[in-house]
């Protein structure tokens, strides 16, 4: 009965190995994307949405700077209006007359006077004249046109134009720094995703190798059990370890898929794009040297906060300028033409010059309140700058020390792997000679797998810490 069970297990493991080999062959035939660190970085810089947003923010700041600069120049505009309206005006007019007064030598109204010399009023109460002039009026208007050009030039704006230009320049610098910071952050995230994928891929390879070793051990122990050299308990111990190794392979395969999706997202590719990373994890001797600590004032984050403080200082000038006198001048030239049907056209043109001066008298505390708020904003930015300087310096020191610590971990993990490999070899030889139980051999194999995984983790951590150090040092 036990022999049948052992034979069934061996048949199952043999079929599993054949199916695994078939899956590997099919996977190799797929149209996969061969990825390198340089390719992943390039695709991330080309396709990442966050970096595109940073680029558009820079373009926006450049446009605002151009608009602020134009405020110093005259505002020149031209206008034109045309009207067509056929309006006939027909009316008979009776106009009062005047007569010459020899005593004064002037024209006086030709009024009707009563015996006492007072004007005689008519039915509507207005004075009556002795004679009236008859004037028939027949005018037809066909349209009119008005055109003009004007130029407005600010002379004094309380310093608001200069402050707005300075703020626009700072905005452009901040957008440029933000783009560089986003690019550095994206490269770091891409490096971390790439090395994480490489680490999981390496662990998957180790897990499969460990599973294959246990598979061979299962066959060996099964043969020994058939000949009566070992008991059934030894076979079960190996089976438990083999099942655990199979579970580790499954977990590593799932982790590899998720790591690939994360890397594809950063590169701007479809999440299910098949990837193949053919790279080796190693560090050069010169990479293990102690790196200098970067200065906090050279960090892009510090420059952004510094620009924000300068922006708040210029905003104080902008707020103050709104409550100072404003002066400007405007020059215009206009032309008017009226088209009449039965008479000569009427036209007029001329030059006009206008100067303006606005002096604020009182705002009932509005200006004082806004100035206090602007100064408080500037003080907040200054305190944030001081706080950030200490935090950034701490982060720089952490990045340097973590990198040195990661290099030390690599050396320790390498030594541990060499010792684990030697221990596994010796334990295997002793087991084959009957000098060690199967438990010791399984433990040696488990220690070898753990040491291989620890070395992979140490190498990946070093690469990630190196990328983080380059990020904080603006390299």
Binning pLDDT at 50, 70 and 90, where does residue 309 land? very high
What do you get for the CA distance between the two ends of the chain, in Å?
Answer: 68
Of 198-212, 217-231, 308-322, 326-340, the one with minimum mean pLDDT is 217-231
Question: What confidence score (pLDDT) does residue 227 get?
Answer: 75
- Whether residue 140 is predicted with pLDDT greater than 50 in this model: the reply is yes
- Total-model pTM: 0.69
Q: Find how far residue 104's CA is from the centre of its chain.
A: 89
Return the minimum-mean-pLDDT range out of 19-33, 223-237, 261-275, 433-447: 19-33
- The C-alpha atoms of residue 363 and residue 212 are separated, in whole angstroms, by 85
Model pLDDT for residues 267-290, shown as the tens digit of each residue: 988 999 999 887 776 665 545 556
What percent of the chain clears pLDDT 70, i.e. is strictly above it? 87
Output 461 or 143, whichever has higher pLDDT.
461
Question: Residue 378 pLDDT > 90, yes or no?
Answer: yes
Strands 106-109 and 98-101: antiparallel
Instruction: Give the residue from 16, 421, 10 showing the smallest Cα distance to 221.
Output: 10
Residue ranges with strand state E in 123-237: 132-156
Averaged pLDDT score across all residues of the chain: 83
pLDDT score at 264: 92
Q: Each residue of 74-125: pLDDT tens digit?
A: 999 999 988 776 666 677 778 888 888 888 888 888 888 888 878 888 888 8
Residue 371 in 3-state DSSP?
Answer: helix
């Amino acid at each position: 009965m036990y022999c049948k069970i052992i034979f069934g297990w061996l048949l199952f493991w043999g079929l599993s190995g054949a199916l695994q080999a078939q899956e590997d062959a099919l996977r190799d035939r797929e149209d996969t994307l061969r990825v390198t660190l340089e390719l992943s970085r390039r695709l991330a810089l080309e396709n990442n949405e966050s970096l595109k947003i940073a680029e558009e923010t820079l373009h926006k700041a450049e446009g605002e700077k151009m608009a602020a600069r134009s405020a110093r120049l005259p505002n020149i505009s031209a206008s034109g209006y045309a009207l067509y309206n056929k309006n006939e005006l027909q009316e008979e007019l009776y106009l009062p007359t005047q007569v010459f007064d020899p005593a004064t030598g002037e024209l006086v109204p030709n009024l009707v006077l009563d015996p006492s010399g007072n004007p005689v009023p008519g039915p509507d109460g207005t004075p009556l004249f002795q004679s009236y002039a008859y004037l028939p009026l027949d005018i037809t208007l066909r349209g009119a046109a008005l055109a003009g050009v004007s130029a407005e030039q600010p002379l004094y704006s309380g310093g608001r134009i200069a402050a707005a230009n300075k703020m626009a320049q700072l905005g452009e610098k901040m957008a440029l720094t933000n783009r560089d910071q986003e690019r550095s952050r994206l490269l770091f995230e891409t490096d971390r995703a790439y090395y994480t994928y490489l680490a999981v891929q390496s662990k998957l390879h180790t897990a499969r190798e460990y599973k294959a070793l246990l598979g061979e051990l299962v066959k060996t122990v099964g043969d020994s059990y058939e000949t009566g050299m070992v008991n059934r308990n030894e076979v079960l111990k190996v089976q438990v370890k083999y099942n655990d190794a199979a579970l580790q392979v499954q977990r590593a395969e799932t982790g590899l898929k998720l790591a690939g999706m994360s890397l594809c997202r950063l590169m701007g590719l479809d999440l299910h794009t098949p990837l193949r990373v053919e790279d080796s994890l190693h560090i050069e001797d010169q990479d293990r040297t102690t790196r200098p600590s970067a200065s906090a004032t050279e960090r892009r984050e510090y420059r952004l906060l510094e620009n924000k403080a300068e922006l708040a200082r210029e905003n104080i000038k902008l707020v103050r300028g709104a409550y100072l006198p404003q002066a400007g001048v405007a020059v215009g030239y206009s032309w008017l033409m009226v088209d009449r049907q039965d008479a000569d056209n009427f036209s007029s043109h001329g030059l006009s010059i206008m100067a303006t001066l606005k002096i604020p008298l009182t705002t009932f505390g509005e200006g004082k309140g806004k100035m206090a708020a602007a100064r408080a904003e500037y003080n907040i930015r200054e305190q944030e700058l001081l706080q950030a300087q200490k935090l950034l310096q701490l982060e720089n020191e952490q990045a340097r020390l973590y990198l040195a610590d990661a290099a030390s971990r690599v050396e320790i993990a390498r030594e541990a792997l060499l010792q684990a490999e030697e221990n596994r070899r010796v334990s295997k030889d002793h087991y084959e000679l009957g000098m060690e139980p199967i438990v010791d051999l399984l433990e040696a194999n488990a220690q070898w797998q753990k040491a291989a995984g620890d070395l992979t983790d140490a190498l990946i951590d070093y690469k990630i810490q190196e990328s983080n150090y380059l990020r904080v040092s603006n390299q």
